[in-house]
């Protein structure tokens, strides 16, 4: 799908340029875009390096485990079919915690481990279980507390207040998580017959 989108931007853009009579601008657009791409990723190094350092301290200090314990009542409500003390629950909780801290690269391996454990509980291996759908719902609605990348991006473009969007981001993330959980619960009831 991403191939189609990319090709569409390039082909339609250049085609439109030709029709609009500004085809001479294409070369400068390519340079400008490429330069911006490099500049932005280099600009992000500063904040990513700093933030991943802080998160490492949090991880070693056991704060991710602490967050997991805090989240466990929520997880029991969301995943009623997972047996007590099953390893899947541990991975789900650490995945949720890592997502909340905005460390996507740490959250993904944990989420994949959770999927693996859920697959062991799954009766029909080709069909997603309810717990899997719930895990995905939580992941795609991404409860994020610290939007690191976007703060870095705002710094790069010299925002007067790069962190002013933290509150609005948390608000929007709560709404999307609320929608995800509600829709998930609705489908769980509707498709009662499948485990």
Partner 1 sequence: MFDSIAIISTWAIPSIVVGIPLYAYFIKKIPVYETFIEGAKSGFTTAITIMPHLVGMMVAITIFRESGALDFFLRLVEPILAPLMIPKEVFPLGILRPISGSAALGFTTDILNTYGPDSLIGRIASTVQGSTDTTLYVLTVYFGSVGVKKIRYALKVGLLADLGGFLAAVYICVLVFGGQ
Site for partner 1 in 71-100 (CB under 8 A): none
| Using rule CB under 8 A, residue 25 touches partner 1 | yes
| Using rule CB under 8 A, residue 123 touches partner 1 | no
- Tell me the window of 19-27, 69-77, 81-89 that interacts with partner 1 (CB under 8 A): 19-27
| Using rule CB under 8 A, residue 121 touches partner 1 | no
| Using rule CB under 8 A, residue 70 touches partner 1 | no
CB of 98 to partner 1, least distance (A): 13
- Among 24, 126, 192, 193, contact with partner 1 (rule: CB under 8 A): 126
φ, ψ for residue 120, nearest 5 deg: -65, -35
| Using rule CB under 8 A, residue 55 touches partner 1 | yes
Which SS3 state, helix, strand or coil, does residue 145 take?
Answer: coil
| Burial class of residue 191 (count of CB atoms within 10 Å of its CB; 0-12, 13-18, 19+) | exposed
Q: Please give the full DSSP string across 41-67, using - where no structure is assigned.
A: HHHHHHHHHHHHHHHHHHHHTTHHHHH
The two tokens of residue 109 are 């391996």
What is the rounded distance in angstroms from the CA atom of residue 174 to the CA atom of residue 153? 22
- Among 1, 24, 84, 192, contact with partner 1 (rule: CB under 8 A): 1
What is the rounded distance in angstroms from the CA atom of residue 114 to the CA atom of residue 90? 8
- Among 78, 136, 193, 195, contact with partner 1 (rule: CB under 8 A): 136
Contacts of residue 29, Cβ cutoff 8 Å, sequence gap at least 6? 13
CB of 85 to partner 1, least distance (A): 21
* Chain centroid offset of residue 21 CA: 41
- Among 77, 87, 168, 195, contact with partner 1 (rule: CB under 8 A): 168
| Using rule CB under 8 A, residue 115 touches partner 1 | yes
| Using rule CB under 8 A, residue 29 touches partner 1 | yes
| Using rule CB under 8 A, residue 17 touches partner 1 | yes
């Amino acid at each position: 799908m991403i191939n189609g989108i990319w090709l569409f931007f390039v082909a339609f853009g250049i085609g439109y340029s030709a029709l609009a009579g500004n085809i001479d601008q294409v070369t400068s657009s390519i340079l400008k875009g490429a330069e911006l791409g490099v500049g932005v990723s280099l600009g992000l190094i500063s904040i990513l390096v700093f933030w991943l350092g802080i998160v490492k301290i949090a991880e070693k200090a056991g704060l991710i485990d602490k967050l997991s314990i805090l989240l466990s009542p929520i997880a029991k409500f969301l995943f009623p079919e997972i047996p007590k003390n099953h390893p899947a629950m541990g991975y789900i909780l650490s995945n949720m915690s890592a997502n909340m801290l905005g460390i996507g690269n740490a959250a993904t391996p944990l989420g994949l481990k959770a999927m693996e454990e859920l697959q062991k509980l799954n009766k029909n291996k080709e069909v997603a279980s309810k717990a899997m759908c719930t895990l995905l719902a939580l992941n795609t609605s991404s409860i994020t507390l610290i939007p690191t990348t976007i703060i870095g991006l705002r710094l790069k473009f010299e925002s007067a207040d790069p962190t002013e969007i933290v509150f609005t981001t948390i608000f929007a993330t709560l709404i999307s998580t609320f929608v995800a959980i509600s829709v998930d619960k609705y489908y769980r009831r509707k498709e009662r017959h499948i485990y």
